[in-house]
Amino acid sequence: MTHHERPSFALSDTTFHFTGADPATVLAEARKAANGKDVRLGGGATTIREFLDADLVDTLHVAVSPVELGGGSRLWESPDDLLDRFHVDVVPSASGVTHHLFWRR
């Protein structure tokens, strides 16, 4: 899903398609293309937030690094914002990265 549509391209055995459609349409197209396999969403906070707001996410894994990179869009003010729809486990690692693992209630 993109704000700047462009031609599809392939890297190795993966083909990337760019569409300006809404999240529900994008997910339906991805499920059809996956032919019964998992569909995964990658992207920035704005894209992920659109899928969360449309209630289209079943499982979410967010790795949070203790490095501030400057400006940008936030995924949330607090991961507690999702507790009405998801269970959560928070797993710290020795590297300082914290993994937030959410799955649908």
Domain boundaries, the chain: 1-40, 58-105
Distance CA 53, CA 45 (A): 12
Identify the pLDDT of residue 69.
75
pTM above 0.85, yes or no: no
Q: How confident is the model at residue 88 (pLDDT cuts 50, 70, 90)?
A: very high
What number of CA atoms fall less than 13 Å from residue 85's CA on the CB side?
12
Phi-psi category of 50—alpha, beta or left, where left has phi over 0 and alpha has psi -120 to 50? Answer: alpha
Identify the pLDDT of residue 60.
92
pLDDT at 5 over 90: no
